[in-house]
Each structure stands twice: as structure tokens, then as C-alpha cells.
């Protein structure tokens, strides 16, 4: 647990020298703080996944099904035939090492098996042994490795020490994407029931209730109502926040953490205020109350099952198009998978901003627009009155979340919004932002307490860059557009760079927004006093 | 260990070639039989491997985006690093294939006191890889003069340009020097860098030794133990016109050179060297980032079990009603 984690000075002593032991001899030490607990059987059962049983990774006996080896190999064969990426990435790596020190887990642990190339070799060696001629003929000489229980345990350990952030793919001369290999690894592990609970519990909850925490419809409505009340207290404005409203123009899908978690909640406040200011005809949904998708961290099939509700709900409510909130991996699913898996969305219309008339042509097939695209357009077209002085108590930097940066390319929109509403903004070093951004170290479902040490190690490069801008420019706020970031950056920064704050971009939008009929704003959406209390609005 | 066994293997091959070259009955094996067998293996192997890749579908559009997406008209998109058009993809691939764009991003992370992570540009790998691949291509093109009669003017011009520096007689080819230097560096970094040494397999060294052996035997034939160029050309022409012969004048070094080449060709389809074809098929590089603008179709997209709104409403009906939210079935 967190309180038992070694001190930062201790963790920062990373030894990058490889051990003497040959990497092909599998050996995993499930040391406290460096792995996640196994999935509870009830979660597997609810999703109908194989081999539900009580077990833990630190157990000697993993209670694998008797034919686990055939299952894995058959699953591998099946996926090699269904995914060109998988087959190709197994075949063409030249082990040049360009990716080696690009991984945050490698930088934070010094464990050579966290070099993306070697993490993939854990799988490739098995692939060669069973699926290539040299490996079948020559075994180890042909680069092959027998699939044993120890190898499987190693897969489990290291494929949950990859956050599928794709940073290595940026540097690879062939674009080999470790995220893709990790996804395959986790899919194969799922076939024999080796999942982690921090992923399967949200996935099962999401399947049943529509969101990760298992918030039921009435509780979801309570949270939203509470936000509406709070907003009125702060601004004097009573906003509408419709839920499951048929015939609204836009369905707004959020990461559910915005209804209960901080600092996510302040982003929701900012967004509700924004929608009120522009008179948007929208609805939330208690059924599609989660854009996040822990199926992405389980298997393509579970991803599809969880994602289906978004289009289904858009169709049921009869909206024209869908707007999506600040969530990283949700956008990876929406951008790269949703239309393919659950489209075509031919019952929706090409998104057009009802305020500016701007056509979002980049989303004409999925019909789903990112809130930062939407707001950037509003600001650019002069449809928002903002007073950036209301964010003068913040000196902000922007953390690019992995998925919007490397699986989408949403780089300028959030920056444009941020610069428009916040006067003091500084970028982190170029080698740590945009397509080279560093993961928070807890993405892809690894943000659980028992994994604390590993998360601190994995998040070290990000925290390091934050410290750099804190020391240099006095930065006191990391803005980001990802719900997992908002959950995991606070403890990470508390550990490495104490005193730092984390916020969503739309929280700052909400602070700066000048809304008709508001009372004089003396506090930000967190209830903190503004740096320079201002004259009443409209004065 | 990983580095030594393949070296022994390549030396053994060289020794076998030199020995067999002395035995009249075995010269056709080295000069004709093995090259043919290797060529057929190469051709069939490469075709098979590419077919295996092509037969596997690309179910999802998963480009790695390395720049700004195309979204609002006033935001400048990264047309090449995050392509939204075919032209952009072609440009991205061309940069990748011809200039190793991604390797050019190379950097080195270093942990210093503080603790402070610092990143320095590191383009040595990019430079060595580029130098090696381009010089190898030019060397291969230059070798066409052995297989073509008359020799095309372009090949002649290339050879003349390559020997431009006119060092010694016969002139030293610039590409030979660059090729050996680059291969030497690639081998050296694999051995000298502890992380790289740790992850390198025998196969990684084997390819390097074969290529170094080819370069060394080629250089020896040109500058030290002069090969009978006419005889070698006769052998080469005989192979391509399917009237093979191994003339007297073909020396043991030439046969050794040919054996190493045959080994490389036969080994190629079963090895990482297939990245030559694979790079063109990489879905993270050869697709436009238009996932939201155009629907990408997955051929095996099968229905899955979902939890429908109706099931959800049935389970929570009373709570939905109590919360005052609308119901489909009152």
C-alpha cells in the first residue's frame, strides 16, 4: 500500500545495468507494490469470461485450467490470423534498441524486461518456438522459448507493466506498437482467467450499470443534481443538466469519475456552466454514463461489448450527434475502434456546432466530437466571454495524455483553449510533451493502490518534467484532459513534486467563463479565493 | 555466447567454401546448385511470408499519430506526421523507408543526481543504419554489371561515381568503405552497450557477420587477391541465363563470397531481415488517421453479447422511477 512505499530518494536510485541472468530464463518476483491483485471471480462471471476462481499472482499455484497451454497457443494462432499488426510485429523487429529508454517503466525500474523490445520478446520468443520454422526446428537456437507456467507468469507481470501508451511506437523505425503486443498479451491471459481486478471490476460494473464504479441511475442523478446545486451556490446561476432526455440535439458522454471524483468533478462543473452559457440542447445519459472503457485493457471483444451502449443510447434518445468529455482512453476507443466495431452511425447526422455552425468534418462518420474541439471552435468564433484573470492563481502547464496525443493527434485544441482562459502557461520540455509525452504511469487500468511503487516508478519521467517547470516557472497546476490522469497524477505528483495541483481544461474554462446573470465571482470552481477578486460581472 | 556461436558458424561456412572450392567435383555445388537453391528459397520464402501478412486483415485503423490532427480549419495539421490523406501517408512512408524518419527522433535518456532525467539527441543509430542500408543498395546495384551484358550506362555511371575518389588501383569504392564502417559500428554498439548486448539474439549477430563476411570477401577480391573478373562474370551470366557453368578462373574467394550470399538469401525469409517487406505493411504507419471521418471496416467484426438499455431499465426500473427519470416502459 501507498504508505509502505519506499521514499522517493530510494526509488530514484535506478540501476540500469542488466542482470547476469539470461532473460530467456523466466523469473518473476511478485514483490508487494509492483503488481496488481487478481480479478475476483464474480467479475469474470458477470462478463462470462473463462476460469473464474479466487487466486492471487503471488500464489504459487495459479489454478490454471488443465489445458491452459493449448488454449493460449490456439488463441495465439487465431490472433495471428486476425490481426496483421500482431503477426507483423512478431516478425519484423530487428532489436535495434531505439525504443529501449523510451518507456517510462524502463526509466523508472531499470528492469530490462521493461524495454519495449524485450517486453515484446517475451511473447516473440514463444511465437518463434511454435509458429516459425527456425524456432520449431532449432528451438532455443532458433530464438524460441517453451511456453511454461513461469513464462505465463512473466507475461502477466510485464503486460501489466505497460500502460499501452505507445510512446515506443513513435521511435520505432517500423512503428512496432507495444500497446498492440500488450493488448494481445492481455487477451491471451484473459483466455485462461489471469486478469487483474482493477480492470475487471470496472469492466463488469460498466457492463451492468453503465459506469466503472457501478453507480446506479438514481445515484448518478443525485451526483449531477448536487453539481447543479453547487454551481448555483458559486455563481448564482441555476443550470439545466438533463439526463436521458429524448429528442435533445446532443448526447454528452463523460468519464463517470466527473460525477464523484476530484479533481474530475470541477471539470464537470465547468462543462455544465459552459453548456448553460451557450444554451446547448444536450442530454447526459445514466445508461451511457461512462465513456471510459476498461474493455480496451481486457480484450477487443470486451471493449466492443462495453462501447456498444454509446451508439445504442444515441439512437434511443434520438440525438443528432455525440459530444465526448475529457477522457484519454475513451477517446482512443471512440477514435480508433468505435465506428469499426459498433458503427455505422447512419442514424446520426454529421456534427455541426449549433452555436457557430462549424462542421466537424473530421468526425463525419463517427458523429462524435471531442469537447476540446468543440470549445476551441466556440472561443475562436468569439462565442464565449472569458476573463482569463480569474485563473491568475494558477501557473499552468499541459500534460498531453497518451491516447489523445498518439492515437489521435489532439494537441493544439486543448492548448488553444487553455491559453485563452489562463494567462500564465508554460510548456514542459519538448522531449516530454505532444507525441513524446510521458504516461502518468498508471494508465491502462494499473492505477490501483497495491501497485503503488510501480506506479511511482512509471510516473517518474512525467513527474520529473513537472518538477522542471515548477522550479523554472513556478508552475503550480498540471492541466490535462484524461480522467485516469486526474485520478493518478495527484498521488504521483504528491510523491515526487509535493504541492502540485491537477485540473481538467474545462475547469479553467468554467473559472474564466463570464456568464450572463452571474453574481460577482470571488471563488474558483473549487471554492478557492481568486487571486484578484473582480468587480461584479457586467460592471 | 549469443555473439560467439554465429561467428563460429559464419567462419565454418567460409572454411567449408574454401575447402570445397579446391575439390573439382564440388565447385558446381558452390557455384550453381546452392545459389539456385538459395534463390528459389528466397523467392518462395519471401512471397510466402508476405502472403501470410497480407492474408491477415487490418481490423482497426491504428496509426501512431506524431503530430497535430486535421480538425478545425484554422489549426495547422501535421500533414505527414499525422496524415489525413493518401498523399500524406505516401510521404510519411517515403520518409520512413528512405530516410528512417522515426530513427531520426532518436534520443538518449540519462538519470542524473537530483534525481533529474535528461534527454539528449542521439542520432548515431540513425546515421549508421542509413549509411549501411544506402551503401548496401548501391553495392547491390553496382553488382548488376556482373549479371547484365551489355552493362547499362546507369550502372557504369554509378560505379564511376562510387569510385570517384580514385584511391589506389583498382579504385576504392566509397560505398564499400561506408558499408564496412556502418556494419562495424552496428556490431560494436550491440557488443558495447550492456542493454543491447543483453537483449541481442544469435540471429542479430548472425546477420551482421554474414554481411561483414560478404563485404570482407568482396574487398579482398578487389584489392588483395585479385579475382578474374571475366570468369566471375561468365559464372554470373550463366546463372541468370539458366546455362550455368563454373569457369576455371573463378577463385575460391569468389565461391566463398557466393556461398555467404546464398546463405543470406536462403536465411532471409525466415529472419528479421524480412523487415524489408514488412515496413510497408505496418498499420501504425501506412494508414491515414481518418478513423472518425471514414468508417474502417473489420472483415471479422462479429456480433457480441451486450447489455441493452432494456435490460438496464428492467434491473433498475424502481430506482429510475424514484429518481424521476423517464422510462421506456412505465
The mean predicted confidence, pLDDT, of chain A is 96
* Whole-number Å distance between alpha carbons of A179 and A444: 10
* Whole-number Å distance between alpha carbons of B280 and B286: 7
Tell me what percent of the residues of chain A surpass a pLDDT of 90.
Answer: 96
Chain B residues closer than 8 Å to A170 by CB: 64, 66, 102, 105
* Closest CB to B195 among A115, A335, A376: A115
CA distances from A29 to A34, A55, A58, A195, A460 (A): 9, 16, 8, 18, 22
**Chains A, B: CB pairs < 8 Å:** 305
pLDDT at A294: 98
CB B304 within 8 A of CB A305: yes
Chain A residues closer than 8 Å to B129 by CB: 96, 173
pLDDT at A401: 98
Quote the cell numbers at residue A277: 452559457
pLDDT at A1: 46
Q: Which parts of chain B register pLDDT below 50? A: none
CB B180: neighbour CB atoms within 10 A? 18
pLDDT at A537: 46
CB B162: neighbour CB atoms within 10 A? 19
Q: Quick one: angle between helices B124-147 and B229-240, nearest 10? A: 80
Is 70 exceeded by the pLDDT of residue A2? no
* Whole-number Å distance between alpha carbons of A18 and A106: 11
pLDDT at A3: 53
pLDDT, tens only, A178-194? 999 999 999 999 999 99
pLDDT at A536: 46
Quote the cell numbers at residue A418: 487553455
Quote the cell numbers at residue B41: 528459397
CB A312 within 8 A of CB B309: yes
CB A511 within 8 A of CB A482: no
Judged by CB atoms closer than 8 Å, whether chains meet at A100 and B196 is answered as yes
Judged by CB atoms closer than 8 Å, whether chains meet at B204 and A363 is answered as no
CB A115: neighbour CB atoms within 10 A? 28
* Whole-number Å distance between alpha carbons of A284 and B286: 37
What are the DSSP E strand ranges found in B183-323? none
CB B211 within 8 A of CB B264: yes
Judged by CB atoms closer than 8 Å, whether chains meet at A134 and B270 is answered as yes
Judged by CB atoms closer than 8 Å, whether chains meet at B53 and A84 is answered as yes
* Closest CB to A84 among B58, B272, B325: B58
pLDDT at B164: 77
Tell me what percent of the residues of chain A surpass a pLDDT of 70.
Answer: 98
CA distances from A77 to A151, A187, B200 (A): 18, 13, 26
CB B327: neighbour CB atoms within 10 A? 11
Is 80 exceeded by the pLDDT of residue A328? yes
pLDDT at B1: 64
* Closest CB to A336 among B61, B74, B324: B61
Cα R_g (chain B), whole angstroms: 28
State mean pLDDT over A278-293.
98
HSE value, Cβ hemisphere, 13 Å, CA-based, for A127: 24
pLDDT, tens only, A356-399? 999 999 999 999 999 999 999 999 999 999 999 999 999 999 99
* Closest CB to A172 among B102, B312, B322: B102
Judged by CB atoms closer than 8 Å, whether chains meet at A244 and B66 is answered as no
Residue B109 β-bridge partners:
B119
Is 80 exceeded by the pLDDT of residue A535? no
3-state DSSP: chain B helix, strand, coil percent, rounded to 5?
Answer: 60, 5, 35
pLDDT, tens only, A17-75? 999 999 999 989 999 999 999 999 999 999 999 999 999 999 999 999 999 999 999 99
3-state secondary structure of A38: strand
Is the bond leading into B115 cis (omega within 30 degrees of zero)? yes
* Whole-number Å distance between alpha carbons of A85 and B60: 9
Q: Which of A80-89, A466-475, A493-502, B160-169 has the lowest mean pLDDT?
A: B160-169
Chain A residues closer than 8 Å to B55 by CB: 81
For cell 462542421, name the residue: A359
Query: Strand A250-253 vs strand B107-112: parallel, antiparallel, or unpaired?
Result: unpaired
State mean pLDDT over A468-488.
98
Judged by CB atoms closer than 8 Å, whether chains meet at A309 and B322 is answered as no
pLDDT at A262: 93
Quote the cell numbers at residue A63: 489454478
CB A47 within 8 A of CB A200: yes
CA distances from A271 to A266, A313, A534, B90 (A): 9, 21, 22, 40
Cα pseudo-dihedral A97, A101, A103, A108, rounded to 10: 140
CB A270: neighbour CB atoms within 10 A? 28
* Whole-number Å distance between alpha carbons of A292 and A309: 12
Is 80 exceeded by the pLDDT of residue A532? no
* Closest CB to A221 among B125, B283, B325: B325
3-state secondary structure of A136: helix
HSE value, Cβ hemisphere, 13 Å, CA-based, for A511: 33
pTM tops 0.85: yes
CB A120 within 8 A of CB A181: yes
Is 70 exceeded by the pLDDT of residue A533? no
Closest-CA residue of A relative to B186 is A96
Cα B128 to chain center, whole Å? Answer: 14
Judged by CB atoms closer than 8 Å, whether chains meet at B115 and A464 is answered as yes
3-state secondary structure of A211: coil
Is 70 exceeded by the pLDDT of residue A171? yes
| Backbone φ, ψ for residue B56 (5° rounding) | -75, 125
pLDDT, tens only, B68-110? 999 999 999 999 999 999 999 999 999 999 999 999 999 999 9
Judged by CB atoms closer than 8 Å, whether chains meet at B66 and A170 is answered as yes
3-state secondary structure of A369: strand
pLDDT at A538: 41
The single-letter DSSP state of residue A390 is G
* Whole-number Å distance between alpha carbons of A190 and B56: 22
* Whole-number Å distance between alpha carbons of A415 and A427: 10
Is 70 exceeded by the pLDDT of residue A539? no
Amino acid at each position: 500500500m501507498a504508505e509502505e512505499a519506499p521514499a522517493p530518494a530510494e526509488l530514484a536510485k535506478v540501476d540500469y545495468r542488466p542482470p547476469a541472468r539470461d532473460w530467456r530464463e523466466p523469473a518473476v518476483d511478485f514483490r508487494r507494490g509492483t503488481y496488481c491483485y487478481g480479478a475476483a471471480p464474480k467479475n469474470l462471471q458477470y462478463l462470462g469470461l473463462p476460469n473464474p476462481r479466487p487466486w492471487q499472482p503471488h500464489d504459487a499455484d495459479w489454478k490454471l485450467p488443465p489445458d491452459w497451454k493449448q488454449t493460449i497457443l490456439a488463441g495465439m494462432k487465431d490472433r495471428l490470423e486476425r490481426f496483421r499488426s500482431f503477426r507483423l510485429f512478431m516478425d519484423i523487429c530487428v532489436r535495434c534498441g531505439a525504443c529501449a529508454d523510451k518507456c517510462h517503466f524502463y526509466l523508472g525500474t531499470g528492469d530490462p524486461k521493461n524495454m519495449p523490445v524485450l517486453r515484446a520478446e517475451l511473447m516473440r520468443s514463444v511465437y518463434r518456438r511454435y509458429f516459425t520454422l527456425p524456432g520449431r526446428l532449432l528451438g532455443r537456437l532458433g530464438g524460441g522459448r517453451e511456453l511454461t507456467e513461469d513464462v505465463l507468469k512473466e507475461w502477466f507481470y510485464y503486460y501489466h507493466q505497460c500502460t499501452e501508451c505507445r510512446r515506443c511506437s513513435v521511435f520505432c523505425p517500423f512503428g512496432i506498437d507495444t500497446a498492440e503486443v500488450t493488448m494481445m498479451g492481455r487477451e491471451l491471459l484473459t483466455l485462461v482467467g489471469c486478469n487483474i481486478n482493477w480492470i475487471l471490476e470496472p469492466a463488469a460494473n460498466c457492463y451492468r450499470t453503465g459506469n466503472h464504479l457501478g453507480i446506479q441511475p438514481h445515484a448518478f442523478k443525485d451526483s449531477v443534481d448536487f453539481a447543479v446545486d453547487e454551481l448555483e451556490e458559486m455563481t448564482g446561476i441555476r443550470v439545466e443538466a438533463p439526463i436521458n432526455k429524448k429528442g435533445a440535439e446532443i448526447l454528452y458522454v463523460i468519464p463517470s469519475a466527473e460525477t464523484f471524483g476530484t479533481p474530475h468533478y470541477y471539470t464537470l462543473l465547468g462543462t455544465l456552466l459552459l453548456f448553460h452559457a451557450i444554451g446547448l440542447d444536450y442530454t447526459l445519459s445514466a445508461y451511457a454514463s461512462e465513456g471510459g472503457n476498461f474493455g480496451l485493457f481486457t480484450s477487443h471483444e470486451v471493449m466492443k461489448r462495453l462501447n456498444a451502449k454509446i451508439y445504442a443510447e444515441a439512437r434511443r434518445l434520438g440525438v443528432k450527434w455525440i459530444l465526448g468529455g475529457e477522457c484519454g482512453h475513451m477517446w482512443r476507443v471512440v477514435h480508433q475502434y468505435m465506428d469499426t466495431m459498433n458503427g455505422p452511425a447512419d442514424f446520426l447526422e454529421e456534427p455541426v456546432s449549433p452555436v457557430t455552425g462549424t462542421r466537424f468534418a473530421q468526425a463525419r462518420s463517427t458523429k462524435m466530437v471531442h469537447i476540446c474541439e468543440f470549445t476551441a471552435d466556440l472561443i475562436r468564433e468569439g462565442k464565449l466571454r472569458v476573463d482569463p484573470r480569474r485563473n491568475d492563481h494558477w501557473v499552468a502547464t499541459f500534460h498531453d495524455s497518451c491516447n489523445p496525443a498518439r492515437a489521435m493527434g489532439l494537441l493544439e485544441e486543448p492548448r488553444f483553449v487553455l491559453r485563452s482562459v489562463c494567462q500564465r502557461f508554460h510548456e514542459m520540455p519538448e522531449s516530454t510533451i505532444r507525441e513524446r509525452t510521458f504516461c502518468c504511469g498508471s494508465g491502462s487500468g494499473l492505477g490501483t493502490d497495491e501497485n503503488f511503487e510501480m506506479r511511482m516508478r512509471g510516473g517518474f519521467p512525467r513527474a520529473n518534467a513537472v518538477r522542471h517547470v515548477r522550479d523554472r516557472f513556478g508552475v503550480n497546476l498540471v492541466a490535462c484532459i484524461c480522467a485516469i490522469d486526474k485520478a493518478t497524477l495527484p498521488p504521483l505528483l504528491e510523491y515526487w513534486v509535493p504541492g502540485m495541483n491537477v485540473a481538467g481544461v474545462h475547469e479553467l474554462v468554467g473559472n474564466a467563463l463570464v456568464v450572463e446573470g452571474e453574481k460577482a465571482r470571488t471563488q474558483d470552481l473549487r471554492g478557492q479565493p481568486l487571486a484578484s477578486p473582480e468587480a461584479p460581472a457586467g460592471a | 555466447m549469443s555473439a560467439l556461436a554465429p561467428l563460429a558458424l559464419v567462419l565454418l561456412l567460409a572454411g567449408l567454401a574454401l575447402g570445397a572450392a579446391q575439390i573439382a567435383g564440388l565447385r558446381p555445388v558452390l557455384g550453381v546448385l546452392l545459389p539456385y537453391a538459395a534463390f528459389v528459397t528466397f523467392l518462395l520464402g519471401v512471397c510466402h511470408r508476405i502472403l501470410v501478412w497480407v492474408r491477415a486483415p487490418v481490423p482497426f485503423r491504428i496509426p501512431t499519430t506524431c503530430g497535430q490532427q486535421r480538425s478545425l480549419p484554422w489549426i495547422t495539421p501535421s500533414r505527414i506526421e499525422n496524415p489525413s490523406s493518401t498523399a500524406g501517408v505516401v510521404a510519411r512512408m517515403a520518409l520512413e523507408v528512405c530516410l528512417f524518419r522515426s530513427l531520426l527522433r532518436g534520443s538518449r535518456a540519462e538519470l542524473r543526481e537530483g534525481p533529474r532525467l535528461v534527454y539528449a539527441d542521439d542520432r548515431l543509430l540513425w546515421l549508421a543504419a542509413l549509411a549501411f542500408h544506402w551503401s548496401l543498395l548501391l553495392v547491390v546495384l553496382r553488382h548488376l554489371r556482373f549479371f547484365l551484358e551489355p552493362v547499362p550506362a546507369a550502372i557504369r555511371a554509378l560505379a564511376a561515381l562510387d569510385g570517384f575518389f580514385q584511391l589506389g588501383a583498382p579504385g576504392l569504392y566509397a560505398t564499400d568503405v561506408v558499408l564496412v564502417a556502418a556494419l562495424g559500428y552496428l556490431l560494436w554498439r550491440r557488443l558495447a552497450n550492456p542493454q543491447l548486448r543483453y537483449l541481442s539474439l544469435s540471429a542479430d549477430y548472425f546477420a551482421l557477420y554474414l554481411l561483414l563476411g560478404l563485404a570482407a570477401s568482396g574487398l579482398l577480391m578487389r584489392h588483395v587477391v585479385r579475382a578474374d573478373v571475366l570468369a566471375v562474370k561468365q559464372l554470373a551470366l550463366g546463372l541468370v541465363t539458366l546455362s550455368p557453368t563454373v569457369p576455371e578462373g573463378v577463385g575460391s574467394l569468389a565461391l566463398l563470397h557466393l556461398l555467404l550470399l546464398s546463405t543470406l538469401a536462403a536465411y532471409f525469409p525466415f529472419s528479421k531481415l524480412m523487415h524489408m517487406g514488412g515496413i510497408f505493411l505496418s498499420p501504425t504507419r501506412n494508414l491515414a488517421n481518418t478513423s472518425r471521418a471514414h468508417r474502417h471496416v473489420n472483415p471479422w467484426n462479429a456480433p457480441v453479447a451486450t447489455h441493452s438499455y432494456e435490460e438496464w431499465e428492467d434491473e433498475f426500473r424502481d430506482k429510475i422511477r424514484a429518481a424521476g427519470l423517464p422510462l421506456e416502459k412505465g
